Structure 1
Amino acid sequence: MPCIAELPSMRYPALIDASDLVTELHKRYIDAGCDVLLTNTYHANIATMKATRKMTDAEAEAVIAKGAHLALQAVAMSGVQRTIQIFGSVGPYATALSDGSEYNGRYVDYISEEVICILFI
């Protein structure tokens, strides 16, 4: 298992490259008294994984699901009797476009008017 300092970040790539470490970190948080875990899926979106990891839609979806499964696994491994809540971590899609649209709003150029109405109105 790699050392956390050797990883570029503890965002979604760790789900692929160091899943044992992700589970261990979740477990350590639980052991320290934490009652809330995030799924470590920040910036894990299908478009990014397809572009950077050459994944299919199904493979990318499986990585996102793996984030939840690893958190659940850590809860089971911890053996605690208290409730541990698990929340999905979803980063802004605009940052995946790498065009600064999270700051200037140009991401609306990539989505339909119908979706804009659903999300913003």
Structure 2
Amino acid sequence: MSLIRDHLNVHTQALQLREQRNNILASNVANAATPGFKARDIDFQSSLKQAIGSGELKTTSVGHIPVSGNAGDQLQYRQPTITSLDGNTVEMGVEQMEFAENTVRYQSSLEFLNAKIRGLTQAMRGE
């Protein structure tokens, strides 16, 4: 079972991070008219590397520090190209583009994961 989990890990981690990123981007769009709101985002590549690197590590001693692959640890403020008078850093064009790109990449990750699962299913059936 562990080998199957390892085989699918990168795609499942990517899906989880893409979902978290979509939520962050949606929050940015929802707060576009909120004075002083600072747009946030994650560095997807470094978050994915952290998530894959941490994997399913288990602590074996009370002195060990648990590792988490939470993207919330990677949240960063987006630097605006145009400064708003009310201090809001959400730029709708940027947010919409990032959201659309992230959604397409989410769908791609889902398709890769489905293909892997189909391949494993066929291998188990001996096809």
TM norm. shorter chain > 0.5: no
Q: TM-score, normalised by structure 2?
A: 0.25
Q: Which has the larger radius of gyration?
A: 2
Determine which structure has greater relative contact order: mean sequence separation of CA pairs < 8 Å that are 6+ residues apart, divided by chain length: 2
Q: TM-score, normalised by structure 1?
A: 0.25
